[in-house]
Structure formats: structure tokens, C-alpha cells
Amino acid sequence: MKILVVGANGQIGKYLVKFIQESGKHSARAMIRNQEQAGYFEGLGAETAIVDLEGEIADIAKAAEGVDAIVFTAGSGAHTGKDKTIMVDLDGAVKTIEAAKEAGVKRFVMVSSFDTRREAIQSAPPSFAPYVAAKHYADEWLIRTDLDYTIVHPGALTNEPGTGKVQAAAEVERGSVPREDVAHVIFNCLEDNSTIGKRFQVVAGDTPILEAVKQL
């Protein structure tokens, strides 16, 4: 399987590309903003595609040519304004979904926010509500397509080393989770077609990731 990782230069994206390349079964194409970011991925033997997520759908569709799955793990980051939240987390996600359809790629894994229900938008602090709203509508756009989607809702992301164990279900108690473990969850979702059409929350836990994904 060849997998396009959108937002590959983020921490989850870097882990995911590494896991894909080390699997010996799959290969990654890392979609990044500029050539200066390519060295890490080339060192792993991964392909790269230089595409601005704020650009045109056609550019993303070209990057998706010949792949079997797309993972959207891009984000505007915690220190950007509402404008970047709209342009990356909402518009960028929707354009990637549309690009998948144009390129004929059916499998799509979305990395979302922990809780993107309408209630979460209303209860979020004013500074965080635009981000939750952007993720909510991106998720809804994906669900309304005929793509073979999986939506991953991770808890608060940490840079702690992964434990290889999580708690994953349609709804879990709010908590944190290492980015490395989230990347492992995504990788396992790509290998398990039973996750198609599902959305779930994931936090640190005691269940091995492979088992946790199979139980969804």
C-alpha cells in the first residue's frame, strides 16, 4: 500500500512515515510545504511531494496520484490565529477530501480533535472554539462522502515516548496520549479494514494498540 501523509512534517506525521517505511510492506509519500523539509523523509526512503495545503485542490490531487490511502494529519498549530485554523484545519482538510475523490483514492484517515460534536463547540473556551468548529465541519464533510473513512479523535497530545498501549472507543474519558502512539494507531487503522466507517477517541491506556484497534 502506498500512503500519502498530508501534514507529514508534523510530529505525528513524521512518526507515521517512519512506521510506514519500516513496515517493509507499505511505502509513504510525504506531502510537505517546502524542499527544506525533505531531508528527513528522503533519509527514510520515502517519496516527497511539495504542496502548499493552502493552494489548489488540483495540486493535492496530483500528489495523491497512484496512492492507495491518504492520511490527513495537518494542523495550523497552537500559536496561529483563527485565519490559519480556517485555512488549514477546515479548508485544507476539505480540499484534501476533494482531492482524494479527484485522484480516485477511496481510503482516507482523518486525524481530528478529541471531541468535535456540536456540544463541544458550544462548551469550548472562546479561543479554542474556532478550532473545534473547523474540525467539526471537516469531519462532517468527510462523513458525507463515499470515501472509506476512519476518523481518529486523539486526546491531549504529548511528546512522551509511546507506550504501545492505549484506550480507544467511540467515547472515552478525556485524557492525554503520546503522539507516537497516535501514529501507531493510524498505522494499524490503515491495515485493518474493520475501522472503515468508524470514528473513535483514543487516550493513553493499558490495551496494546493492535488489540485496541481490532476491538473498535
Tell me if residue 214 falls in helix, strand or coil: helix
SS3 letters for 62-102? HHCCCCCEEEECCCCCCCCCHHHHHHHHHHHHHHHHHHHHH
Taking the C-alpha atoms of residue 185 and residue 112, their distance in angstroms, rounded to an integer, is 13
CA dihedral (4, 104, 188, 157) positive or negative: positive
Active site amino acids: 131
Hunting for cell 484534501 — which residue is that? 96
Taking the C-alpha atoms of residue 170 and residue 216, their distance in angstroms, rounded to an integer, is 8
Hunting for cell 484517515 — which residue is that? 109
